[in-house]
């Protein structure tokens, strides 16, 4: 069960957690017609700081644009609302879930007449793939479910309905005794995981799949890129085959919820203990989010300033 906090922001007002409810004929509940973000705030020596807030809110607006959902608030209003929601709940760190969804008032597949609602919820959330996963790595399985084709579901948008695909892959992986799924594109290239980007390390180079393989352009992925560049570790975007996963020197995942997580094995082919490049990226990432590295201060929005 979720660890609750006091307030959830709904359409411009802070309401009590228990009262943050919707009608059963909410369009998004039936047709998956919503877009969302996943953001984190971390404890720093200056109180909680939201990591890369502007990039996340920008991506939320991009997702809405792709789905032709008109967000009834401005970018500045949603930035301010997110900060306010973290502040009033008096959490030191939390996960943050802004959601823009088609609400109650119309049914049927034409979404255009529907009212648009916006909510922002926060809650304390530990390591998404577990503390052991962060330390020792996770066991991955290539899913029998493919990732979206960009002309069936646009992977650049974080659409709520798209995540049924992720959930199917997640369930398959867990039921088969693994921690997380790796999904291939319809063309058979490695795409991403159910809610994380994927990276392999071979001969000292980091490689991650392109958006054309169906991967979301992750904000954590772009933090990894910047950190790799600052460490002078070669970083490439390129197609990865399933067999490249098996023979990788190292592998890791990145995502806001998951953070940076080493891959221990793929389809029972051992990759082994987290390697030196994975470790360095992971350490720098955690230092960045906690405000411990001056170079990445611009990524933080302090909520009590
Ligand atoms: N891929 C998918 C499918 C995701 O849902 C996420 C999480 N938003 C990611 C990758 C990682 O993106 P980010 O680093 O921006 O959280």
Tens digit of each residue's pLDDT (9 = 90 or more) over 218-229: 999 999 999 999
- Pocket perturbation via mutation, ligand 1, pick of 37, 125, 197 by most ligand atoms within 8 A of CB: 197
- pLDDT mean over 182-193: 98
Q: 133: helix, coil or strand?
A: helix
Containing structural domain, residue 97: 7-123
Are residues 136 and 262 both part of a single domain?
A: yes
For the Cβ of 96 lying below 6 angstroms from any atom of ligand 1, the answer is: no
56 alpha carbon to ligand 1 midpoint, in Å? 11
For the Cβ of 192 lying below 6 angstroms from any atom of ligand 1, the answer is: yes
Which residue in 62, 151, 48, 57 sits closest to 97, CA to CA?
Answer: 57
- Whichever domain contains 75, its CATH number is 3.30.470.10
For the Cβ of 197 lying below 6 angstroms from any atom of ligand 1, the answer is: yes
- pLDDT mean over 198-219: 97
- Whichever domain contains 180, its CATH number is 3.20.10.10
Residue 35 lies in a domain: yes
Summarize pLDDT for 47-60 with one digit per residue, the tens: 999 999 999 999 99
Closest atom of ligand 1 relative to the 162 alpha carbon: 3
DSSP 18: G
Are residues 33 and 144 both part of a single domain?
A: no
Are residues 19 and 110 both part of a single domain?
A: yes
How does residue 258 score in pLDDT terms, banded at 50, 70 and 90?
Answer: very high
273 alpha carbon to ligand 1 midpoint, in Å? 24
Q: 9: helix, coil or strand?
A: strand
Are residues 43 and 119 both part of a single domain?
A: yes
Summarize pLDDT for 246-255 with one digit per residue, the tens: 999 999 999 9
Closest atom of ligand 1 relative to the 155 alpha carbon: 3
Residue 36 lies in a domain: yes
Number of domains in the chain: 2
DSSP 34: E
Domain end residue (candidates: 77, 99, 123)? 123
Residue 298 lies in a domain: no
Whether 268 shows a pLDDT value over 90: the answer reads yes
Is the CB of residue 178 less than 8 Å from the CB of residue 140?
yes
280 alpha carbon to ligand 1 midpoint, in Å? 21
Are residues 48 and 76 both part of a single domain?
A: yes
Summarize pLDDT for 163-187 with one digit per residue, the tens: 999 999 999 999 999 999 999 999 9
Whether 1 shows a pLDDT value over 90: the answer reads no
Are residues 137 and 106 both part of a single domain?
A: no
Token couple for 218: 């992750």
- Pocket perturbation via mutation, ligand 1, pick of 218, 253, 261, 299 by most ligand atoms within 8 A of CB: 218
Are residues 238 and 278 both part of a single domain?
A: yes
Burial of 232 (0-12, 13-18, 19+ CB in 10 A): exposed
For the Cβ of 256 lying below 6 angstroms from any atom of ligand 1, the answer is: yes
Domain end residue (candidates: 96, 123, 150)? 123
How does residue 305 score in pLDDT terms, banded at 50, 70 and 90?
Answer: confident
Q: What's the confidence (pLDDT) of residue 301? A: 98
Are residues 135 and 212 both part of a single domain?
A: yes
Closest atom of ligand 1 relative to the 56 alpha carbon: 15
For the Cβ of 216 lying below 6 angstroms from any atom of ligand 1, the answer is: yes
Give the count of beta carbons closer than 10 Å to the beta carbon of residue 39: 26
241 alpha carbon to ligand 1 midpoint, in Å? 20
For the Cβ of 253 lying below 6 angstroms from any atom of ligand 1, the answer is: no
Residue whose CA lies nearest to ligand 1 atom number 12: 218
Domain end residue (candidates: 89, 123, 157)? 123
Task: Please state, rounded to an integer, the average pLDDT across all residues of the chain.
Answer: 97
Are residues 40 and 76 both part of a single domain?
A: yes
Residue 301 lies in a domain: no
236 alpha carbon to ligand 1 midpoint, in Å? 18
Beta bridge partners of 95: 40, 123
Are residues 140 and 210 both part of a single domain?
A: yes
Is the CB of residue 142 less than 8 Å from the CB of residue 181?
yes
Residue 296 lies in a domain: no
Are residues 34 and 164 both part of a single domain?
A: no
Are residues 107 and 139 both part of a single domain?
A: no
Q: Which residues are catalytic?
A: 158
Residue 103 lies in a domain: yes
């Amino acid at each position: 069960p979720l660890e609750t906090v006091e307030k959830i922001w709904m359409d411009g007002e802070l309401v009590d957690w228990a009262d943050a409810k919707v009608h059963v004929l909410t369009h998004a509940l039936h047709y998956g017609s919503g877009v969302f973000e996943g953001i984190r705030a971390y404890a720093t020596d200056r109180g909680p700081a939201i990591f890369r807030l502007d990039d996340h809110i920008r991506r939320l607006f991009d997702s809405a644009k792709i789905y032709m959902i008109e967000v009834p608030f401005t970018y500045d209003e949603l930035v301010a609302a997110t900060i306010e929601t973290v502040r009033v709940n008096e959490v030191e760190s939390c996960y943050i879930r802004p959601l823009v969804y088609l609400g109650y008032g119309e049914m049927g597949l034409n979404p255009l007449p529907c009212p648009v609602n916006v909510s922002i919820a926060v809650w304390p959330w530990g390591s998404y793939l577990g503390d052991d996963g962060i330390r020792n790595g996770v066991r991955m399985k290539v899913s029998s479910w493919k990732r979206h084709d960009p002309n069936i579901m646009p992977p650049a948008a974080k659409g709520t309905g798209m995540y049924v695909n992720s959930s199917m892959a997640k369930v398959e992986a867990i039921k088969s005794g693994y921690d997380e799924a790796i999904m291939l594109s319809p063309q058979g290239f490695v795409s991403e995981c159910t809610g994380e980007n994927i990276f392999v390390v071979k001969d000292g180079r980091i490689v991650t799949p392109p958006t054309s393989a169906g991967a979301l352009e992750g904000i954590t992925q772009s933090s990894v890129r910047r950190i790799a560049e600052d460490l002078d570790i070669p970083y490439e975007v390129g197609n990865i085959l399933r067999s490249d996963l098996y023979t990788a020197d190292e592998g890791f995942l990145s995502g806001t919820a998951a953070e940076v997580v080493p891959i221990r094995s793929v389809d029972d082919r051992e990759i082994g203990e987290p390697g030196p490049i994975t470790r360095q990226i992971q350490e720098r990432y955690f230092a960045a989010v906690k405000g411990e590295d001056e170079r990445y201060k611009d990524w933080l929005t302090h909520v009590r300033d």
